[in-house]
Copies of this chain bind each other. A is one copy, B any other.
Amino acid sequence: MVVPIRIDDPADPRLAAYAAIRERDLVGRQGRFVAEGEVVLRVLLSPRARFRPESILLAPERLPGLMPLLAASGTAAPVYVAPRPVMSALAGFPIHRGVLAIGRGGPDPDPDALVPEGPALLLGLVGLANHDNVGGLFRNAAAFGADAVILDAATCDPLYRKAIRVSAGTALTMPFGRVPDGEALLALCHRHGLVPVALTPAGEEDIAALPPLPRALLLLGTEGTGLPEALMARSRRVRIAMAPGVDSLNVAAAGAVALHRLAGARLAARPA
């Protein structure tokens, strides 16, 4: 049973994990993450989430609308209620949505364990340092039924607050693992019979004409420098055709186009 706990003092130690959120975004938070907004909270409380909340902090006016969700979830996390000015003073910036939670991540799964038997579609991110792009790509990976996302060491943390929000919570559901670099991504492909598909404006093949690939890993790099040459040289190089004179898309948009093409017949038939 959920019994909300009212707190009016921003210095209350039970709210310590919510203090100075932006500053701690920058230094890491020892395995914890901040979930922000109702969309993300709903995912965090759902059985699909890979992680669990340690605590939840709501503005009083959000409580009535969210009580059914909290009750149905069976969460054991304490639910704190604090006036919005207390939330904002504590966090260090305006908490417009009035909905926060602290979750605890876990050890990254072994990437080899994330590759399924049979049909497989994975996303491999190389050097993506922008949280909006990484969040957007998780959302696209989930939408198009990818099995997992594999990140190189230079790609930012999908459990960063803003990445979770932009992912619409899918950073909490989509399995992801880490490898050191692009070489390790290729090695993963070789071990599991995945075709490495490198998306690049200079690709020899147009993704619109690509035959079905039952087992593939889509490689995406930064918009500026792109994927390392050494990685592309040993991958299937594929382009997205664009209008004359245009040579770049936002990487999350490019990922959406490519994942939609690669997913093909894997996608759901029309919902009834």
Residues in A lying within 8 Å of B, measured CB to CB: 132, 136, 139-140, 142-145, 166, 168, 201-202, 204, 206, 208, 239-244, 246-250, 252-254, 256-257, 260, 263-264, 266-271
Contact B267 A142 (CB under 8 A): no
Using Cβ atoms and an 8 Å threshold, which residues of chain B touch A201? 271
With A168-B248, A271-B247 as contacts: A145 and B242 at CB distance below 8 Å: yes
In the bound complex, how far is the Cα of B272 from the Cα of A239, in angstroms?
13
In the bound complex, how far is the Cα of B140 from the Cα of A252, in angstroms?
11
Contact B270 A239 (CB under 8 A): yes
In the bound complex, how far is the Cα of B240 from the Cα of A145, in angstroms?
13
Using Cβ atoms and an 8 Å threshold, which residues of chain B touch A242? 143-145, 267-268
Count of chain copies? 2
The 9 A-B residue pairs with the shortest CB-CB distance, nearest first, are: A145-B243, A241-B267, A253-B256, A244-B268, A143-B242, A257-B260, A143-B246, A143-B249, A256-B256
Using Cβ atoms and an 8 Å threshold, which residues of chain B touch A256? 249, 253-254, 256-257
Using Cβ atoms and an 8 Å threshold, which residues of chain B touch A241? 260, 263, 267-270
With A206-B270, A257-B257, A270-B206 as contacts: A243 and B136 at CB distance below 8 Å: no
In the bound complex, how far is the Cα of B242 from the Cα of A145, in angstroms?
7
Closest to A48 in B: B245
Contact A253 B139 (CB under 8 A): yes
In the bound complex, how far is the Cα of B203 from the Cα of A242, in angstroms?
26
The one of B136, B145, B204, B240 in contact with A253, judged by C-beta atoms closer than 8 angstroms, is B136
Closest to A140 in B: B253
